[in-house]
Amino acid sequence: MRGIPSHVRLVSADLGRRPLRTALAVLGVALSTALLLGTLGLHAGYIRSLDSTIDRMGFQVLVTAKGCPYEAASLVMRGGNVPMYIDETTFDTILSDPDVAEATRIFMQGMPGGSMNRVMVFLGVDDQFRRLKPWMTLQRGEWYTGPEAPEAILGYNAAVTLGLNLGDRLPVGPAHRDLTVRGVFDRSGTQDDGMIFLPLRFAQELFDRQGKLTGAGVRLKSLDRVDGFLKRMFELPSVQALTLTQFRSTVMEFVGTSRLLLLLSALVAAVIGGLGFLNAMTMSVAERFREFGLMKAVGASPASLFGLTLLQTGCLGLLGGLSGIAGIAAGGWAIEALVRRLVPFAPSGPLLDLQPSIVAVSFLGSVLLAVAAGFYPAARAALVSPARALRHGA
C-alpha cells in the first residue's frame, strides 16, 4: 500500500527538521571517527614505512663516530648532514671482521641548492653500494666512469624535483663545481629517491673530507653473531655500532607512547562527541514527546519507539562515521605533512595507512558510539505516557 511511512522514512523526515543540530551531531561523531582513524592509520603507516625503510637500507648494523647513535641512525636513514666522521682505516678494520659479509662506506652531506634553494642530500658511494642495494637499478644512464669522476646519479624524485636529465650540469659544493648527470635511478620507494649520489672519492674531495666517512653499513654473515660483532666494535676507539633492530625498537617505544597518548585523546574526543550526541538526541526526543505520544496512541509499541530512536541515532552515527572517513581520506595528506614536520624521525613512504581493518574498526566504533549514546533518549521515547504526552507534551 502506498503512503505507509517506513521507519527509515520517519527517521529521515525528522533529521531534516533541525538541520543545524543534525549537522552538529554528525560533526561530533565525524571528528571522533577521524581522530580514531587518524591515530590508528598513522600508527600502522609509520610502522610499515619504518620497516620498509629499514629493510631497504641493505645492511643490519650502522657503525658511526661516537655520539648519539640514534641521532646518527635517523640522519642516515632520512638523509641529512651528519657532523661526525670515522677514518677510512676504521672501515678497513670493520671489513676485515670475520663476521662481516658485506660493508659499504657511507659519506653523507646536506647543503642548500637547486632552483628552490632546498636542502640537497649528497651520498658518496662506492661499488659496494650496488651489492648491498641490488634493487637500486638505473632507469636511464650509466654508473660512474670512475671513483673521482665529477658525476652524479640522481634518485628518482631528485631528478624530478631538480628538473635534470642525462648530461645536464649541476653546480654543487662550497666551490660550486659542476657535476654532470650520469644516470637516474628507478623509483625505490625509500629515502634514496630524494638523494644525489656521487662517487665516494669525489664527494670526499668536494666537501673537503678526504679519508673521512659518515659511517659504515654492515651486513653480517649471520644475525646470530651480532652480539659478538657489537662487542668488538665497542672495543674500537671512536666508533659505536647500532643494529637497525635496536633503532627500530627505540623508535617504536617512542611511537608506542605517542600512540597511547593519541588514543587517549581519541577516547576523550569520543566521550565528548558522545555526550554532545546524547544531548542532541535527548533534546530531539524531548521536543517530540507529543509525537511519540501520538505514535503510541495510533499503535506504536514501546519497542517500536525505542527501535525508531535507536535507528535515528544509528543513521547519524553512520553519517558521522562516513564523513569522518571521507575527511581523513581527503585531508590525510595534510595530517601526514604535519606529522613529518613535528616528529623527530619520519621514515619515507606514506605515513597514513588506511587499511580496511582500521577503517572498519573506526567506522564500527563511530556507529556503536552513536547507538550507545542513543540508548537513554531511546528509553525516554519508549517510556512516554501517551495520555500525558498528548495533554501536556511532556
Residue matched to cell numbers 569520543: 270
Among 1, 20, 116, 334, binds other proteins (CB under 8 A): 1
Closest CA to 74 of 344, 381, 361: 344
Strands (E), the chain: 61-65, 86-87, 100-113, 118-125, 138-141, 151-154, 169-172, 177-185, 195-199, 212-213, 215-220, 239-243
Q: How far apart are CA 377 and CA 279, in angstroms?
A: 9
Cβ-based nearer residue to other proteins, 147 or 307:
307
Q: Is 326 in the site for other proteins (CB under 8 A)?
A: no
Cβ-based nearer residue to other proteins, 239 or 300:
300
Q: Is 391 in the site for other proteins (CB under 8 A)?
A: yes
Closest CA to 110 of 216, 194, 211, 215: 194
Residues in 370-389 at the binding interface with other proteins, rule: CB under 8 A: 385-387
Query: How many residues bind other proteins, per CB under 8 A?
Result: 30
DSSP state, residue 112: E
Shortest Cβ 313–other proteins spacing (Å): 17
Residue 288 vs residues 17, 83, 294, 381, 392: alpha-carbon distances, Å: 11, 70, 10, 9, 12
Cβ-based nearer residue to other proteins, 220 or 305:
305
Shortest Cβ 315–other proteins spacing (Å): 15
Among 154, 206, 241, 300, binds other proteins (CB under 8 A): 300
Residue 32 vs residues 35, 168, 231: alpha-carbon distances, Å: 5, 51, 49
Q: Is 295 in the site for other proteins (CB under 8 A)?
A: yes
Q: Is 21 in the site for other proteins (CB under 8 A)?
A: no
3-class DSSP assignment, residue 93: helix
Among 192, 291, 336, 353, binds other proteins (CB under 8 A): 291
| Displacement of CA 249 from its chain's centroid (Å) | 17
Q: Is 296 in the site for other proteins (CB under 8 A)?
A: yes
Q: Is 299 in the site for other proteins (CB under 8 A)?
A: yes
Cell numbers for 242, please give them: 647500532
Among 149, 304, 318, 329, binds other proteins (CB under 8 A): 304
Q: How far apart are CA 211 and CA 86, in angstroms?
A: 9
Q: Is 3 in the site for other proteins (CB under 8 A)?
A: yes
Cβ-based nearer residue to other proteins, 307 or 327:
307
Among 290, 318, 329, 350, binds other proteins (CB under 8 A): 290
Task: Compute the radius of gyration of the chain from its Cα atoms.
Answer: 31
Q: Among the candidate windows 7-15, 144-152, 155-163, 277-285, which touches other proteins by CB under 8 A?
A: 7-15
Among 4, 330, 334, 342, binds other proteins (CB under 8 A): 4
Q: Is 16 in the site for other proteins (CB under 8 A)?
A: yes
Q: Among the candidate windows 14-22, 70-78, 203-211, 309-317, which touches other proteins by CB under 8 A?
A: 14-22
Q: How far apart are CA 384 and CA 386, in angstroms?
A: 6
Q: Among the candidate windows 12-20, 81-89, 197-205, 347-355, which touches other proteins by CB under 8 A?
A: 12-20
Among 20, 116, 298, 342, binds other proteins (CB under 8 A): 298
Q: How far apart are CA 9 and CA 22, in angstroms?
A: 16
Q: Is 56 in the site for other proteins (CB under 8 A)?
A: no
Residue 281 vs residues 303, 376, 379: alpha-carbon distances, Å: 17, 9, 11
Cβ-based nearer residue to other proteins, 368 or 379:
379
Shortest Cβ 386–other proteins spacing (Å): 5
Q: How far apart are CA 182 and CA 249, in angstroms?
A: 38
3-class DSSP assignment, residue 243: strand
Shortest Cβ 282–other proteins spacing (Å): 19
Cβ-based nearer residue to other proteins, 221 or 388:
388
Closest CA to 132 of 78, 79, 190, 180: 190
Q: Is 114 in the site for other proteins (CB under 8 A)?
A: no
Q: Give the binding site for other proteins (CB under 8 A).
A: 1-7, 9-10, 13-14, 16-17, 290-291, 294-302, 304, 385-387, 390-391
